[in-house]
């Protein structure tokens, strides 16, 4: 008999498209301020968001954007970001956010997966994306999200909305009908990028069902009271599932987000005090900042009720230090999730019995823990690979049925590649990672991507990349390289070779170590657990 930990019964997710759902939620409280730019103070109300995204969606439909089409977005966090996201979703098309720091190869990789018809770009990403798109045979249109520039003949979102013939009087706005999707449970609404348990980044397809199941679970879990009174400080990037799903949550629940483009210590502290922030979703390195940085003592953090830490393990001593410094009244919650599972599957409650827990299962999710060698399901308190099944399981990886079936087995269980267990009371714990994924600052680094790049270097015979524990960042990538005979490249040169080709979070901060051989099994697979040992022996 399989040993399964069953989550609370899931909610009956309505059979509507996510666009119809967002629209209804936004219509409810038009006057509310949904988003404030932390730096400029610029505000966006539900009415602004609704009006601009409805007009933009009509213009996108005039450009033949509809169901089964995709729009990519490459921008830093901004007030216009979710106007573009909502507009796209209203048309029935799918939105695919990418990291605005991506360099050429990283962008091309994502373009090959999601094949967009339009890309929303920002002031910073326009030039590179314009050049890439010009070199391609497919016809991709760019739209500038930042209002003040109009370079390379690229129209701005501002112009498109303000010059639109689809001008709406409020009556029209409140009678708009987002595109109905015939089978919303099977249609992707968003494509996010994740390397999952192995290989290169892939396009994670999430459906209306996935996103609605998350919404119902989050709005109904025990600690979710007075959601609309929450003032969130968002420093997480919108392109990652964590930031993306939270912003969608804030928008649809009627809460407020103070949004930063990136983590800037002073602005972070100032914003908490100025806007009386109640809730801060963050990653472990920001917890380290809260525990240690002198700036934190200079500001008033009295309004803060909840810190939600996720995306990487939260060291207990860091957690304790933050609690001690900020006081007992702050709830520190550990959130666990994975892009492939609609980003989050559990969040720890207030004052759990054991503070190391990541909480109990959200409604609509079941869990089992399996022995990594035999795949046999293990019972309570036994550590193995965490597998989940239910409403949160992604549709699959875009255009990659093979990778999908390697991740979701025939019985619908999604294998996370994380090691963990559950206790007698149904609380879950993550204790390690089986998969090759490296997490730097909560960001994903796929070793295969850096290994493949190293192998394109003329001097490199073989390469392996792994994550080394790091106090501030969680992990940093280290490369082991076997040189070709007579090769002259130095570790520094190889490091630079990589750092010139990848976005900053993937920099080889742990350096390159030259080795004689990479440990592999008989079929040529890297024995990843041996890599650490190899470096410590040197
Ligand atoms: C130990 O990181 C995420 C999602 C994080 C998230 C989002 C909303 C957490 C809480 C929340 O409320 O997704 P990915 O796909 O980038 O990375 C997934 C991997 C997991 O498989 C695990 O290895 O990131 C690691 N991870 C964690 N590890 C995520 N959360 C945790 C955690 N403890 N709390």
Using CA atoms, how far apart are residues 309 and 311, in angstroms rounded to an integer? 7
Ligand 1 pocket residue status of 247, Cβ below 6 Å:
no
pLDDT over 80 at 185, yes or no: yes
pLDDT of residue 410: 97
| pLDDT-derived band at 189, boundaries 50, 70, 90 | very high
Mean predicted lDDT score pLDDT of the chain: 94
Ligand 1 pocket residue status of 241, Cβ below 6 Å:
yes
CA of 338 to the centre of ligand 1 (A): 5
Using CA atoms, how far apart are residues 496 and 505, in angstroms rounded to an integer? 14
Average pLDDT over residues 433-446: 96
275: left (phi over 0), alpha (psi -120 to 50) or beta: alpha
- Report the predicted TM-score, pTM, of the whole model to 2 decimal places: 0.97
CA of 349 to the centre of ligand 1 (A): 17
Ligand 1: residue whose CA is nearest its atom 13: 338
Average pLDDT over residues 347-362: 91
| pLDDT-derived band at 168, boundaries 50, 70, 90 | confident
Ligand 1 pocket residue status of 420, Cβ below 6 Å:
no
**CA 102, chain centre distance (Å):** 15
CB under 8 Å to 77, separation ≥6 — which residues? 234, 237, 238, 243, 259, 260, 261, 262
Average pLDDT over residues 243-254: 96
Three-state secondary-structure class, residue 359: strand
CA of 181 to the centre of ligand 1 (A): 30
62, two tokens: 């005039």
| pLDDT-derived band at 190, boundaries 50, 70, 90 | very high
What interface predicted TM-score (ipTM) does this complex get?
0.99
Could you tell me the end-to-end alpha-carbon distance of the chain, in angstroms, rounded to an integer?
A: 47
Mutate to test the pocket of ligand 1, among 337, 414, 434 (most ligand atoms within 8 A of CB): 337
Using CA atoms, how far apart are residues 475 and 452, in angstroms rounded to an integer? 20
Three-state secondary-structure class, residue 30: coil
Ligand 1: residue whose CA is nearest its atom 1: 313
From the alpha carbon of 334, which atom of ligand 1 is closest?
34
Q: Are 63 and 33 in contact (CB under 8 A)?
A: no
The C-alpha angle with vertex 430 and arms to 429 and 432, in degrees rounded to 5, equals 150
Q: 185-207 burial string, b = 16+ CB within 10 Å, else e?
A: eebbbbbbbbbbbbbebbbbbbb
From the alpha carbon of 347, which atom of ligand 1 is closest?
12
Ligand 1: residue whose CA is nearest its atom 28: 312
pLDDT of residue 537: 67
User: Strand runs (DSSP E) across 291-433, as ranges?
Assistant: 306-310, 331-336, 346-347, 365-370, 377-378, 384-390, 396-397, 414-422, 428-433
Ligand 1 pocket residue status of 416, Cβ below 6 Å:
yes
Neighbour tally for 309: CB within 10 Å: 26
pLDDT of residue 224: 64
Q: How many CA atoms lie within 13 A of 312 on its CB side?
A: 27
pLDDT over 90 at 299, yes or no: yes
pLDDT one-digit tens code per residue, 121-166: 999 999 999 999 999 988 999 999 997 766 778 999 999 999 998 8
Average pLDDT over residues 337-359: 93
pLDDT one-digit tens code per residue, 37-65: 999 999 999 999 999 999 999 999 999 99
Average pLDDT over residues 508-522: 95
Ligand 1 pocket residue status of 319, Cβ below 6 Å:
no
CA dihedral 269→270→271→275, nearest 10 degrees, is 120
The dihedrals phi and psi of 407, each to the nearest 5 degrees, come to -100, -40
pLDDT of residue 253: 92
| pLDDT-derived band at 232, boundaries 50, 70, 90 | very high
pLDDT of residue 352: 84
Angle between helices 104-114 and 126-134 (to 10 degrees): 60
pLDDT of residue 534: 81
Higher pLDDT, 91 or 10: 91
Using CA atoms, how far apart are residues 373 and 58, in angstroms rounded to an integer? 53
- The residue to which tokens 């650490």 are assigned: 532
**CA 169, chain centre distance (Å):** 36
pLDDT of residue 284: 96
Per residue, the 3-state secondary structure of 214-255, as one string, reads HHHHHHHCCCCCCHHHCEEEECCCCCCHHHHHHHHHHHHHCC
**H/E stretch holding 291:** helix 284-292
CA of 438 to the centre of ligand 1 (A): 11
Ligand 1: residue whose CA is nearest its atom 21: 338
CA dihedral 202→208→211→216, nearest 10 degrees, is -160
464, two tokens: 């392996």
* Closest to 334 measured CA to CA, from 346, 342, 343, 323: 346
Q: 398-411 burial string, b = 16+ CB within 10 Å, else e?
A: bebeebbeebbeee
Using CA atoms, how far apart are residues 109 and 106, in angstroms rounded to an integer? 5
Average pLDDT over residues 253-272: 97
Average pLDDT over residues 435-451: 97
Ligand 1 pocket residue status of 341, Cβ below 6 Å:
no
Ligand 1 pocket residue status of 311, Cβ below 6 Å:
yes
**CA 288, chain centre distance (Å):** 21
CA of 311 to the centre of ligand 1 (A): 3
Q: How many CA atoms lie within 13 A of 147 on its CB side?
A: 8
pLDDT of residue 212: 95
Mutate to test the pocket of ligand 1, among 194, 279, 310 (most ligand atoms within 8 A of CB): 310
Beta-strand relationship, 306-310 and 279-282: parallel
Average pLDDT over residues 426-435: 96
| pLDDT-derived band at 28, boundaries 50, 70, 90 | confident
Mutate to test the pocket of ligand 1, among 311, 332, 348 (most ligand atoms within 8 A of CB): 311
Q: Are 118 and 51 in contact (CB under 8 A)?
A: no
From the alpha carbon of 435, which atom of ligand 1 is closest?
23
Per residue, the 3-state secondary structure of 163-178, as one string, reads CCCCCCCHHHHCCCCC
CB under 8 Å to 475, separation ≥6 — which residues? 312, 438, 439, 440, 467, 468, 469
């Amino acid at each position: 008999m399989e040993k399964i930990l069953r989550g609370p019964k899931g909610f009956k997710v309505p059979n509507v498209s996510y666009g119809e759902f967002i629209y209804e939620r936004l219509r409810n409280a038009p006057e509310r301020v949904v988003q404030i730019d932390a730096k400029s103070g610029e505000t966006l109300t539900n009415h602004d968001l609704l009006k601009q995204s409805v007009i933009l969606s009509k213009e996108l439909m005039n450009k033949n954007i509809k169901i089964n089409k995709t729009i990519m977005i490459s921008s830093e966090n901004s007030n216009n970001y979710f106007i573009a996201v909502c507009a796209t979703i209203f048309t029935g098309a799918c939105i695919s956010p990418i990291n605005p720091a991506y360099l050429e190869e990283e962008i091309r990789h994502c373009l090959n997966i999601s094949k967009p018809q339009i890309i929303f770009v920002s002031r910073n990403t326009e030039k590179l994306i314009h050049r890439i798109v010009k070199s391609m045979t497919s016809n991709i249109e760019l739209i500038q999200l930042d209002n003040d520039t109009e370079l390379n003949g690229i129209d701005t979102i501002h112009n498109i909305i303000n010059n639109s013939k689809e001008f709406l009087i409020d009556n029209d706005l409140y009678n708009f009908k987002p595109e109905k999707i015939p089978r919303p449970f099977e249609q992707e609404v968003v494509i996010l990028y994740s390397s999952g348990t192995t290989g290169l980044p892939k396009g994670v397809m999430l459906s209306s069902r996935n996103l609605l199941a998350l919404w119902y679970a989050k709005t109904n879990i025990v600690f979710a009271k007075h959601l609309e009174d929450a003032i969130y400080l968002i420093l997480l990037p919108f392109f990652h599932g964590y930031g993306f799903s939270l912003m969608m949550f804030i928008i649809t629940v009627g809460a407020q987000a103070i949004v930063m483009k990136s983590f800037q210590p002073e602005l972070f502290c100032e914003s908490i005090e100025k806007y009386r922030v109640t809730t801060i979703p963050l990653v472990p390195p920001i917890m380290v900042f809260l525990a240690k940085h002198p700036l934190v003592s200079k500001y008033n953090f009295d309004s803060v009720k909840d810190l939600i830490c996720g995306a990487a393990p939260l060291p207990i001593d860091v957690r304790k230090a933050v609690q001690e410094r900020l006081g007992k009244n702050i709830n520190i919650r550990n959130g666990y999730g994975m892009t492939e599972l609609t980003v989050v599957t559990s969040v720890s409650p207030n004052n759990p019995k054991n503070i190391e827990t990541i909480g109990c299962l959200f409604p609509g999710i079941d869990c089992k823990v399996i022995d990594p060698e035999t795949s046999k399901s293990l019972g309570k308190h036994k550590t193995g690979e965490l597998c989940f099944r239910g409403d949160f399981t992604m549709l699959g990886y875009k255009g990659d049925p093979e990778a999908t079936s390697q991740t979701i087995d025939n019985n619908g269980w999604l294998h996370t590649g994380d090691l963990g267990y559950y206790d007698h009371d149904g609380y879950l714990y993550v204790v390690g990672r089986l998969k090759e994924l490296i997490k730097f600052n909560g960001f994903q680094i796929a070793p295969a991507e850096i290994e493949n790049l190293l192998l394109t270097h003329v001097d490199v015979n073989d390469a392996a990349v792994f994550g080394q524990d790091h106090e501030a960042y969680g992990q940093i990538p280290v490369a082991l390289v076997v040189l070709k005979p007579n090769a002259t490249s130095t570790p520094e040169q190889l490091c630079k070779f990589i750092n010139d080709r990848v976005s900053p979070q993937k920099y080889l901060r742990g350096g390159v170590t030259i080795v004689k051989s990479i440990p592999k099994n008989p079929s040529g697979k890297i024995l990843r657990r041996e890599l650490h040992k190899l470096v410590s022996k040197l």
